[in-house]
Amino acid sequence: MSRSIGLDDTLTAYVRNANPPEHPVLARCREETDAMGEISRMQISPEQGAFLQLCARLVNARTAVEVGVFTGYSALVTALAMQDMHGGAARLYGCDSSEDYTAPARRYWAEAGVDGLIELRIGDARETLAGLAGEIGGTADMMFVDADKTGYEAYFEAGLDLLRPGGLILFDNVLWNGSVADPAKVAADADTAALKALAETVRDDDRVHSAFTAIGDGILLAVKR
């Protein structure tokens, strides 16, 4: 499980304790994902989860899209908030390329009682999002992207097709552990270069209002005008 950039153990614990308690299934998902080793960094931190839930409430999210599901923590936090607001009318579409990594996600969702609200689609996210545009285009309230970094600009464009005016899209890892501020790393690494390019694209795009934040490993937020 990741942690917020720049926070030591003491501050990390303080921030997490200052947030509302995790749902028991979220805690179990986090702990079991931690046990996977280095790859567990792909999952968001509990403080990011609390932030996602608040974002879902701020936009009154009933329909959401997620790109990059992994073991299901972020989809679960979002679905729990949406269920609390809209009950069985809530719907979250999860896009991922791995059956193996998302198998635990299905189990956690079922344990938390939100599996009926989440539709997981396995395959290339670009194709999945194109299909969703024909189904829910212009109606989604919220979209969270935590997937292949070189695909972020494509997911931004897809998100604008999916979101309603006033809808929110969030991109995770936009600080990339600080690499985006190092010109040598930007020049040497495709992921770092893609994240820097995305930040500039979103900042200059008059189709959205945006904010670049240092929450977690950096979250870039954009609201469709």
pLDDT single digits (tens) 207-217: 999 999 999 99
SS3 category, 217: coil
Q: How far apart are CA 65 and CA 49, in angstroms?
A: 15
Kindly report, residue by residue over 36-59, the tens digit of the pLDDT.
Answer: 999 988 999 999 999 999 999 999
The helix/strand count (H/E) of the chain reads as 9, 7
Backbone angles phi, psi at 55, to 5 degrees: -60, -40
pLDDT of residue 5: 75
Give residue limits of the domains in the chain.
9-224
Around Cβ 27, how many Cβ atoms within 10 Å? Answer: 13
Percent of the chain at pLDDT above 90? 94
Which H helix or E strand runs over 95? strand 91-96
Q: Which CATH superfamily is domain 9-224 in?
A: Vaccinia Virus protein VP39 (3.40.50.150)
Q: How far apart are CA 79 and CA 37, in angstroms?
A: 26
The ranges of the chain with pLDDT < 50 are 1
Reading the block at residue 96, the tokens are: 């991922």
CA 13 to chain centre: 22
- Amino acid (one-letter) located at 177: N
